[in-house]
Amino acid sequence: TGHASIVLRGSDAICGAREVIDHSQIIRVCAFPFEEVERYAGLLRTAGCYILASAREAYIGESKDVGERLRTHAQASDKAFAREVFVVTAFDDTRFDKFAARYFDYRLTQEAEARKLVRVIKGASPAQPCLPLDRVVAFNHMLGGVWRLLFDAGCRVFHTGDPDAVVPASPPVIPADHFDEFDMKIGRASCRERV
């Protein structure tokens, strides 16, 4: 058992751009200094969830075009606190799409607020996306591997590195009443309001 994170660096700079992967996962984490957004934004023209972080604050967001969204944030004075950028995306754009990005935004924001290791800066709170059960299960499986990859990339929003600290929990088991939220049809599921 165990895990093998691979850290790929584009230069000798310890705090420079890096990509963290694990061959058992389809997700990957890209990290780089916030001041270098313009340099790397063109390489991130994909759906993803991202974290803008400093030692005390974090902003978590998502986009179908992370690179373009990061360019916008780099021009915004309210994001000037950021020192590092962490982007969660995947090698396969068909499995990590806008819906995955929204789900990760929701779950990572929840976890960061629960951990209270940094102040979470946000505009509107991300809503839990209404998704078919098969997508939720797949996204939870992907989410299970993201904590280690983020930590190995240098992100301390969810875990400090203290060996006595609690590691973020695995994604929750989907309760049986979750099935009541869906009209099941062959080939698709549509969301209903819960009463």
Give the least confident one: 8-12, 59-63, 124-128, 165-169: 165-169
Determine the 3-state secondary structure of 43 from DSSP. Answer: coil
Q: Give the pLDDT confidence of 45-95 residue by residue, as tens digits.
A: 999 999 999 999 999 999 999 999 999 999 999 999 999 999 999 887 777
Structure tokens at 51: 């974290």
Which tops the pLDDT comparison, 156 or 187? 156
Q: Residue 48: what pLDDT? A: 95
- As a whole number of angstroms, the distance between CA 49 and CA 102 comes to 7
Q: Mean of the pLDDT values across residues 121-144? A: 88
Please, what is the average pLDDT of the chain? Answer: 84
Q: What is the pLDDT of residue 20?
A: 93
Using CA atoms, how far apart are residues 178 and 110, in angstroms rounded to an integer?
A: 19
Asked if 35 and 52 count as a contact pair (C-beta separation under 8 A), the reply is: no
Put simply, whether the predicted model's pTM sits higher than 0.85 gets the answer no
**Residues 76, 74: Cα–Cα separation, whole Å:** 6
